[in-house]
Each structure stands twice: as C-alpha cells, then as structure tokens.
Amino acid sequence: MPAATSKSVRPKSAVKPASRRVASSAPVLSTRALNRATLARQLLLERARIPVLDAIEQVIALQAQLPNPPYVGLWARLADFTKESLTALIEKRRVVRSTMMRCTQHLVTARDYLQLRPVLQPVITRSWKTIYAKRIARMDLDEVLDTARQLLEADPRTITELQSLFSERWPKRDANALAYTVQCLLPLVHVPPRGTWGRGGAVPAALAEQWLRRPLSSDAAPEELIVRYLGAFGPASVADAQMYSGLTGLRAPFEALRPQLRIFRNEEGKELFDLPDAPLPDPDTPVAPLFLPEYDNALLAHADRRRVVSDANRTRIRTQNGMLPTLLVDGMVAGRWRITRGRASAVMEIEPYGRLSKRDRAAVTEEALRLLAFTDDDGATRDIRWLAPP
C-alpha cells in the first residue's frame, strides 16, 4: 500500500520545475498585444454583427449592479444594438440577472446561468459566511431556506418583502440577514420588468429553476468556466481567473488543462494561459474610441489590469462604491464620462486624463454623440461638454 501511494501522488516539487521550464521558454506577449487580444474577445476591437445571446455568451456575462450598464456595454460591442432586443430576451426568460462572479450581480444567458451558478456557489457561500452567518447563528438554516422556498414559489419577492415576512415569523431575529441569506444560498433570478432599461428600484426575485423551468447543472467543476474565461479574457494567469470569478484554488484545474492550452509570458515573465485557437490580433490593430459603462467586465476581469488601464488611471476610475464609466482611447482608459439630464436636454460630460490629439478629440466627440442618441432617444437636446482641455 505505501508503495502504491508513493507512485500515485505527485509531489509538489515535481510539478513546479516543469511549470517554470515551460514558462521560461514560452513566447512573450507585450501589454499592447494583451490589450488587443482582450478587446477582440470582448467584442470591443470592432462592433460585431452577431445575435445578442451569442454576444452575451462570448463575454460570459455583463456586470449588472444597475439596470442600464449592460445595455450600454452591449451597445459598445454590437452593431445596430437596440434596448428592446435585450429587454425582450429578459422578458422571454432567455437572459437573467442574478448573483454570479465575485458575488456581484451579472446579466447572463439562461443556459449559462444554469451551467455556471453551481460552479460559483462556493464564492457566494463564502461571502455569506463572512457577512451574514454570525448574525443568524443558532437558527435552523434548513428551516429558513424551506420557508423562503415556500414564499418564493407562491410569488416573486423583493428583499424588502422577504425582510417583512421574516420579521413576522421570527420577530427577534435579524430579518435583513435572513433575507440576504436566502439571496446567497438559494439560486434566485430577478424578475422583469424591474431591472430592465430605466426600471430601477427593488427587483423581485424568483427561484431560478421555477422561473427557467429547467434544473441547475449538477457539475460544479471549474474547468469549463476556466475555458470560457480564457476565450473571453485570455491570455490570462491563474490569478486573473481567480480575480474574475472569485474562486480560489484554481491552480490545480489549470494544471489539468495545461496540455490543451497555449502558454505565454507577459513582459515580467508571468505565465499566461490561452486557448489554442483564440485570436491574437496584431498589436498595432487600430481601435476606435470606446465608451464603457460602470463596472464593465473588460476592466474588472484580471488581477493585473494594466492591459486596459494604467495603475495611475485605475485609481482615478474607482469610487467608494464601484467604478466610473470610462473612456478608452487606443484601447486604454483615457478618461471618464457621465450624462447629466435636464427637462429636455442630455449632456455628455467627458473628463480626459491627458491631452488628446485633435483627431482623437473629434473621434471621441463623434462616438459620444452616437452614445447619447442611444441613451437619450426621446427628443431631448443632446450636447457634449469637456470637463478638462483635451
């Protein structure tokens, strides 16, 4: 028995030198090459002419803490995108909004939700343990979740409605913690029309399997998510994939996939993994100015984000509660933007982080007016205001 054990268990020291040998001989990709690869896979190198469902699955999901940003994100990626096309998919239950990567709200196709939510459940459970578990200590968790299922099977409920119902049943317990326990530990999806374009506020949630009329996958292994991640954001490191997903311990599944993957290095020599047939555009491929919404995945999907934003500008686009809408010039974050609205006006305010050439300024202005025509198509007067000299 001891002899069999020694043969079947590979010591860690036997894996690491091999990984270093591969990494040391792997081709080097410049930061600019990584930028163009990421933009291409995120459908940002040029607008794609593909169905909305295909686009969402290509980028895996769209961050959706607020209702409108996914619409702007798809507008930036797709030719001839309309708000109605996404809203219709949500109403038809082909796209859903739910807690996913990093325990944050994402918009994802129904098919991907059913496949990926079980893979990501450990991330969400870990967050629940950190924030809420102690606040409902010594309660029967099965009873809480069974009660929540009965309530949600009867009707979709908002967090506030769940809090009220839990207060009636357990008046001496933390109703807020109980409601968020349900949101974390039961697979729920948001129910329209709330959560679609222009429809903010508290969004009712339903049990995912009841809403989608299909069961969740029984496979919680991370390999498929890793492959999808590399297709959407690669070449990338293990740390990048862990940052994107919130999962830990991905080194082992990456190693299991190594024979199927291409290996590169970045300019500092860090090992990057990629799919064998994924696009690697010429680093000098031109790219038009881009306006990305709050929390866009292109800016959040890597531990090392220098492929899309410099360290200095990374701090500029962060706020206490999230990330600002960003302007990209030549594929890199070059400023931020926001729309201010009056009774019959919409003004795009653009704050560049450095001087822009006349050519870039003209291209940014043109793209900004196109975005305003998309966001404010109700007859309002539209204009551009530069907050700093370009």
Q: How far apart are CA 232 and CA 64, in angstroms?
A: 17
Chain segment 278-324, per-residue pLDDT in tens? 999 999 999 999 999 999 999 999 999 999 999 999 999 887 667 89
Query: pLDDT band at residue 390, thresholds of 50, 70 and 90?
Result: low
Q: What is the pLDDT of residue 201?
A: 84
Helix (H, G, I), strand (E, B) or coil at 318: strand
Chain segment 203-262, per-residue pLDDT in tens? 999 999 999 999 999 999 999 999 999 999 999 999 999 999 999 999 999 999 999 999
Residue 72 pLDDT > 60, yes or no? yes
Q: What is the pLDDT of residue 356?
A: 95
- The single residue listed with the structure tokens 């008046």 is 171
Q: What is the pLDDT of residue 320?
A: 65
Helix (H, G, I), strand (E, B) or coil at 138: coil
Mean pLDDT throughout 165-186? Answer: 95
Burial of 363 (0-12, 13-18, 19+ CB in 10 A): middle
Q: How far apart are CA 162 and CA 157, in angstroms?
A: 6
Chain segment 358-369, per-residue pLDDT in tens? 999 999 999 999
Residue 64 pLDDT > 70, yes or no? yes
Chain segment 106-142, per-residue pLDDT in tens? 999 999 999 999 999 999 999 999 999 999 999 999 9
Residue 159 pLDDT > 80, yes or no? yes
- The single residue listed with the structure tokens 């020599």 is 269
Q: Show the CA angle centred on residue 233, arms to residues 231 and 236, nearest 5°.
A: 100
| Omega before 281 within 30 of 0, i.e. cis | no
Q: Which of 214-228, 274-288, 326-340, 375-389 has the lowest mean pLDDT?
A: 375-389
Query: pLDDT band at residue 388, thresholds of 50, 70 and 90?
Result: confident
Query: pLDDT band at residue 15, thresholds of 50, 70 and 90?
Result: very low
- For residue 63, the tally of other CB atoms under 10 A from its CB is 26
Kind of pairing between the strands at 381-386 and 345-352? parallel
Q: How far apart are CA 152 and CA 146, in angstroms?
A: 10
Domain spans of the chain, in order of start: 326-386
The CA dihedral of 382, 329, 67, 82, to the nearest 10 degrees, is 60
Residue 167 pLDDT > 90, yes or no? yes
Q: Which pTM was predicted? A: 0.91
Give me the half-sphere count of Cα atoms (radius 13 Å) on the Cβ side of residue 3: 0
What is the percentage of the chain residues whose pLDDT exceeds 70? 93
Q: What is the pLDDT of residue 202?
A: 87
